[in-house]
Amino acid sequence: MCSWRECSQRAGLAAASLVLCAGLTGVAAAEAQDSIPQHVECKRLAPGKKPAPIGCTILAQRTVQELPRGPLFWYLVAFPTRAAAEAAAGPTSVVADAEGRSWVFTIAPDDGGPWRGELVAQVGPLELPRMKAYTIEVALAVLPPGSRSRVHTHAGPEAWYMLAGEQCLETPSGARRVGPGQGMTQAGYTPMQLVATGKVVRHALVVVVHDAAQGWGSPSDWKPSGRCTREPRSSR
């Protein structure tokens, strides 16, 4: 047994320890919040470099004068080696290495994708207006939950395939969400903001098919309402 004074001192020390721990937890939470990337922009991969561990990296691009007629889709096909991927690439394909594999990103009609390799996804159809020339650019985006892209537009459609994690895309039409193993498309010339949601680091492969006379993307002054940062409604 302890005396009243001793017990009071011990209780005070315990309370002080709890306050200190709470303070440290608050500081850690604030630091973690500060470390979440905001207004993320995709940066081009420098020659001979690997994609950044966190962020959005434009891996490769290709400009073509024409694309096939009819509804077009993005075919994402994986290969064990770069040589095998390049051997399977077609005239509307882009080859890039990411996440430990070699990938062929192909824009083609329905049932017109590559016949070799592991077909991981067919995403689309893509809303592609006629252009004098098209640039196909592919990217890898690795973002922790809570990260946000800048508000931007593309001069052509954008498509995503989720390798891991979740994302929410807000446009003036509303918000849409996808999870691992799912794809998403968005028509060009649409203001948008993407938010990494859920509790798992988001890993996504991305393709943008844009007017070759314009760049990858441009900032927009549209203001999102924050729908992607709210908890989704239960389906029950």
Amino acid identity, position 113: G
For residue 233, the model assigns a pLDDT of 64
Among candidates 115, 107, 97, 86, which has minimal Cα distance to 159?
A: 107
For residue 11, the model assigns a pLDDT of 37
For residue 85, the model assigns a pLDDT of 96
Given the structure tokens 């005396």, which residue do they identify?
Answer: 3
Check: CB of residue 185 under 8 Å from CB of residue 158. yes
SS3 187: coil
For residue 192, the model assigns a pLDDT of 97
Among candidates 159, 164, 169, 92, which has minimal Cα distance to 124?
A: 159
For residue 228, the model assigns a pLDDT of 96
Check: CB of residue 197 under 8 Å from CB of residue 166. yes
For residue 69, the model assigns a pLDDT of 87
Write phi, then psi, for 95 (nearest 5 degrees): -105, 135
- Count of helix runs (H) and strand runs (E) in the chain: 2, 15
Tell me how far apart the terminal alpha carbons of the chain are, to the nearest angstrom.
55
Q: How far is the C-alpha of 48 from the C-alpha of 64, rounded, in Å?
A: 25
For residue 5, the model assigns a pLDDT of 38
Given the structure tokens 């949601």, which residue do they identify?
Answer: 197
Write phi, then psi, for 76 (nearest 5 degrees): -110, 115
For residue 47, the model assigns a pLDDT of 87
- Tens digit of pLDDT at every position of the chain (236 positions): 444 334 434 434 343 333 323 332 333 333 334 467 678 889 999 888 889 899 999 999 999 999 998 899 999 999 999 999 999 999 999 999 999 999 999 999 997 766 789 999 999 999 998 999 999 999 999 999 999 999 999 999 999 999 999 999 999 999 999 999 999 999 999 999 999 999 999 999 999 999 999 999 999 999 999 999 887 665 44
Q: How far is the C-alpha of 125 from the C-alpha of 109, rounded, in Å?
A: 9
For residue 70, the model assigns a pLDDT of 83
Check: CB of residue 156 under 8 Å from CB of residue 134. yes
How many CB atoms are closer than 10 A to CB 57?
22
The angle at the Cα of 117, spanning 102 to 91, to the nearest 5 degrees, equals 75
Q: How far is the C-alpha of 188 from the C-alpha of 128, rounded, in Å?
A: 8
For residue 44, the model assigns a pLDDT of 93
